[in-house]
């Protein structure tokens, strides 16, 4: 009886270590590289893992802590830099969480697209058009698209980005 119990415990431990290692080497290690590669990323704590730690089709990007000295653009830059690190990986969706609470998601194809555009596309364009690609967790679009003159559209897009950031992590950072 003791031998079976020990074998069972060893199997469970092996599975847990395998899951942790899989998440660490494929997701967390590239994030560590991003966070250390840019001094402006100091003060931002993020956790990444597969959905339920075992579903490799869904990435969870979870903001854990943001210092008061960091700006919204700093957090989004980390996200964009990370998408660039993972631009060859394919996900169905990327869940945007704050302190363990899923808030929104984007399609994996959009995550991959902005990753490929890092260093090429204008950061302001990526920021202002990002909310158009954000979904609520109930699969409804979180923000609409704007049409009209460039100044009016840009203003509304930036307003949406600020609202998105507030709902994603700023409100939680203030708690």
118-155 pLDDT, tens digit per residue, is 999 999 999 999 999 999 999 999 999 999 999 999 99
Q: Which two tokens stand for residue 69?
A: 């000295």
DSSP 138: T
**Confidence (pTM):** 0.92
* Distance in angstroms between the alpha carbons of the first and the last residue of the chain: 50
Question: What's the pLDDT at 7?
Answer: 86
Q: How far is Cα 44 from Cα 87, in angstroms, rounded to an integer?
A: 21
Identify whether the C-beta of residue 89 lies closer than 8 Å to the C-beta of residue 118. Answer: no
Burial 57-88 (b: 16+ CB within 10 A, else e): ebbbbbbeebeeebebebbbbbbbbbbbbbbe
pLDDT at 86 over 90: yes
Task: Give me the count of residues in the chain.
Answer: 175
Identify whether the C-beta of residue 99 lies closer than 8 Å to the C-beta of residue 60. Answer: no
pLDDT at 69 over 80: yes
pLDDT at 6 over 80: yes
CA distances, 71 to each of 93, 115, 165 (Å): 25, 21, 10
Give me the chain's average pLDDT, please: 95
CA distances, 73 to each of 54, 80, 107 (Å): 30, 10, 21
Own/partner contacts of 1-7, CB < 8 Å, gap of 24 or more, are none
- For the residues 4-8, what does the mean pLDDT come to? 86
- For the residues 95-111, what does the mean pLDDT come to? 98
């Amino acid at each position: 009886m003791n031998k079976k119990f020990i074998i069972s415990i060893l199997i469970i431990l092996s599975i847990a270590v395998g899951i942790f290692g899989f998440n660490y080497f494929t997701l967390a290690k590239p994030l560590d590289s991003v966070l250390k590669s840019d001094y402006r990323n100091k003060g931002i704590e993020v956790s990444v893992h597969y959905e339920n730690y075992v579903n490799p089709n869904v990435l969870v990007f979870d903001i854990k802590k943001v210092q008061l000295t960091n700006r919204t653009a700093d957090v989004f830059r980390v996200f964009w830099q990370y998408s660039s690190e993972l631009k060859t990986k394919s996900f169905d969706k990327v869940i945007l969480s704050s302190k363990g609470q899923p808030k929104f998601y984007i399609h994996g194809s959009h995550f991959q697209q902005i990753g490929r555009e890092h260093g090429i596309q204008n950061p302001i364009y990526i920021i202002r058009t990002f909310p158009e690609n954000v979904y609520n967790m109930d699969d409804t679009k979180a923000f609409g698209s704007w049409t009209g003159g460039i100044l009016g559209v840009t203003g509304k897009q930036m307003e949406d980005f600020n609202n998105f950031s507030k709902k994603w992590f700023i409100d939680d950072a203030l708690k």
